[in-house]
Amino acid sequence: MKKYFIFSCFFLSCLSEIQAQKNITLRIDPDNARGGTASQIFDSLEFIPLETTKESLLGSIDQLEIVDSFFIILDMRGSHSILIFNRNGKFHARIKAEGGNRFLGYFSINRKANQIIITNNFDDSLLIYNFNGNLVNKLPYPQEKVNSLYYFNNGNVVYNFRRNTPSEPFDIGYSKDFTDITKYINKYDPRYQDDQYNIMNDPINFSGEPGSCMFSLPFDYTVYELNDTGIIRKYTFVFPLGYSLPPDFSTDSMFADKRAQYVYRDHIHSKMIWDINPVYKVGNYLLFSVLDLTLKVYGIRNFLYNFKNGNLLSFSRVTGDSSSFYFPFLNTTLDKVEGVYGDKIFTSLPAVRILSLSKDITQEVNYPQGLDELIKTGTKMNNPVIIQFRLRENL
């Protein structure tokens, strides 16, 4: 009996390890994704206008992280700031990079200590701020040039390095003390790689599940789910031929230094998907955004994949109804899922879009107070509106 128990424990341990390491292939046909109405797709919806004052004004949301009491927002190029708002939208604090050429970069959250760990281009250290916007510490960078990072609650940190600078040809490095790299992951051939991989979006985002994050790079259809020790799962996306980059596009030497040119400058390639970012897991769903260069205002960009039944939903085909005050969202190439917290999902709409869309609504609508005030008295200069929603089951 004892031997059977030991064997069972060993078998379950092996099975758990196999399941944790499995690769998942997702066959995605954007043209066959279904839609619906807001009330069919969303179990709950809340519109949260961010307070607009001289101190709280922001340009754009380049990164959004959600904690118990706050929205923490990176406005990288507009105000060169990280802004902290209460979850009801009231302004709380600002962290600002003083000086025209100083930028605060992507950040991560130490949720145990209630601290923000910030990359930047003007200090040889990671900047550590509390949620009141006060600098509490500085920590030295590793030798490689950091593009982004994710902090795990056990103190481990994972870095994404810029491809044109590392001493070791790897995209990802782990550290236990922020400085010394203990493990490298995702090796590449430096002869054929370049800084074109370090454009657009933060390649790391919270996965939606405690203890893990997602990592993806442009020109690559594999998304990695990472925990504090390494890769626990790979998601490989397969698109129809008309949407797909050439095979081995991210590794073939013939495309070295030409990948961005291939994607950007030739209109023949404009439908090809060149980035999958961000990606989140919420229950049985995988939420992901893709980028191409068709530049259609109402382009098909944001999707939901159901792991249980293989259903694919396009948010651009979800129409607004009374539950969303007749506002559509996640339906243009400018939109994306910006954060996940528990079973809540977050995106945003600029005030100018809210004001424009409201003029076309012919139905009688009873807006909640904050949204009503924005529509009646706001201007295009108002801060964005955060949209918090929860998905229905069995989509």
Q: b/e string for 143-154 if b means 16 or more Cβ within 10 A?
A: ebbbbbbbbbee
- Matching CATH number, 28-391, of 2.120.10.30, 3.40.50.300, 3.40.50.720, 3.50.50.60: 2.120.10.30
Neighbour order of strands in the sheet with 302-306: 34-37, 312-319, 302-306, 285-291, 275-282
The confidence score (pLDDT) of residue 193 equals 67
Return the H-helix or E-strand segment holding 84. strand 81-86
237 and 275 in contact (C-beta within 8 Å)?
Answer: no
| Beta-carbon-side half-sphere exposure of residue 371 (alpha carbons within 13 Å) | 22
Predicted pLDDT at 297: 47
Domain spans of the chain, in order of start: 28-391
**Sequence-ordered list of residues with C-beta below 8 angstroms from that of 59, at least 6 positions apart, any chain:** 75, 77, 78, 79
The pLDDT, as a whole number, for residue 332 is 83
pLDDT tens, per residue, the chain with 395 residues: 444 444 344 334 433 443 444 899 999 999 999 999 999 999 999 999 999 999 999 999 999 999 999 999 999 989 999 999 999 999 999 999 988 789 999 999 999 999 999 999 999 899 999 999 999 999 988 878 899 999 999 999 999 998 866 577 899 999 999 999 999 999 988 876 666 766 668 999 999 999 999 999 988 999 999 999 999 999 999 999 999 999 888 888 888 888 878 887 667 777 889 899 999 999 999 999 998 766 554 456 899 999 999 999 999 999 999 999 999 999 887 889 999 999 999 999 999 999 999 999 999 999 999 999 999 999 999 999 999 999 999 99
With tokens 């955060």, the residue in question is 386
CA angle centred on 232, ends 274 and 220, rounded to 5°: 10
Q: Which of 25, 41, 17 is nearest to 387 (CA)?
A: 41
Q: How far apart are CA 241 and CA 118, in angstroms?
A: 40
